[in-house]
Structure 1
């Protein structure tokens, strides 16, 4: 058995909207979507990274009381959570593709230190940095 981190999660206010965003706009695939009463375990995977899952979790029971869940939803909506980072082969091309699909970008592609990056948000407010790595010197 291989040991390591298998799932990391983010909070979303609407799991159905998050699922549509990540699958239909960004091209992720559903890994697990199961319910236990009102609780829903929903994970997705990047098609090029099948060993890692991103959980799309709704704040609330059984993990949080309603006051805590409300605070978490507000913090995510304000963009206060740490950004996630996605590496891409061509930042400008992916920016154009996803912008045409309605992804809300907070920063157009910018070249810095030899790499190119752009910023976007998911429907809940989670911030992402999309980075095209610098080309290696030959």
Structure 2
């Protein structure tokens, strides 16, 4: 059976991203390895403590020769707009999670709001990646 092991987000600064994901989102480090043979490429992955089988790779935006300058600029532009992808987080209590994350310094772009599928809020990480924090109602349990 095929399973999801890792997903990836682009980050401007891996150390800044690491601090955000571990200190503000309370995730844990899964892997932090630098490979000298690949130009000191750093594989940095974090994940929620209660989901050890899933990791989010905090990938530095590469330049040439891996990614040409035009593509690098396009990735930066999409990130600045919050359109480089979205991570969907679920919680049993969106209001409580919102208050907890806000007290840790997470800046929300959208406060919790009731929607047909549950209660939903939005925030971004320091690199501009979009997050949805959702308390899902029973609409998806059918």
Give TM-score scaled by structure 1 length.
0.89
Distance 2:25 2:14 in 1: 15
Aligned residue for 1:134? 137
CA displacement at 1:42 relative to structure 2: 0.6
Q: Tell me, yes or no, if structure 1 residue 48 matches structure 2 residue 50.
A: yes
Q: Tell me, yes or no, if structure 1 residue 119 matches structure 2 residue 118.
A: no
CA offsets per residue over residues 16-71 of structure 1, 9 Å max, x none? 11110000000000000011233111111111111011111011156323432232
Given that residues 124 and 130 in structure 2 are in contact (C-alpha distance below 8 angstroms), is that contact kept between their aligned partners in structure 1? Answer: yes
Match of 1:60, SS state, is coil
Match of 1:103, SS state, is coil
Query: Which is worse superposed, 38-47 or 119-128?
Result: 38-47
CA offsets per residue over residues 70-124 of structure 1, 9 Å max, x none? 3212211221223221001111011111111111101000011261110000000
Distance 1:63 1:6 in 2: 23
Structural RMSD (CA): 1.9
Given that residues 60 and 66 in structure 1 are in contact (C-alpha distance below 8 angstroms), is that contact kept between their aligned partners in structure 2? Answer: no
Query: Which is worse superposed, 102-111 or 71-80?
Result: 71-80
Matched positions, count: 136
Gaps of at least 5 residues in structure 1 are none
Change in 2 beyond 3 A, CA 1:101/1:40: same
Q: Tell me, yes or no, if structure 1 residue 92 matches structure 2 residue 91.
A: no
Gaps of at least 5 residues in structure 2 are none
**Larger fraction in helix:** 2
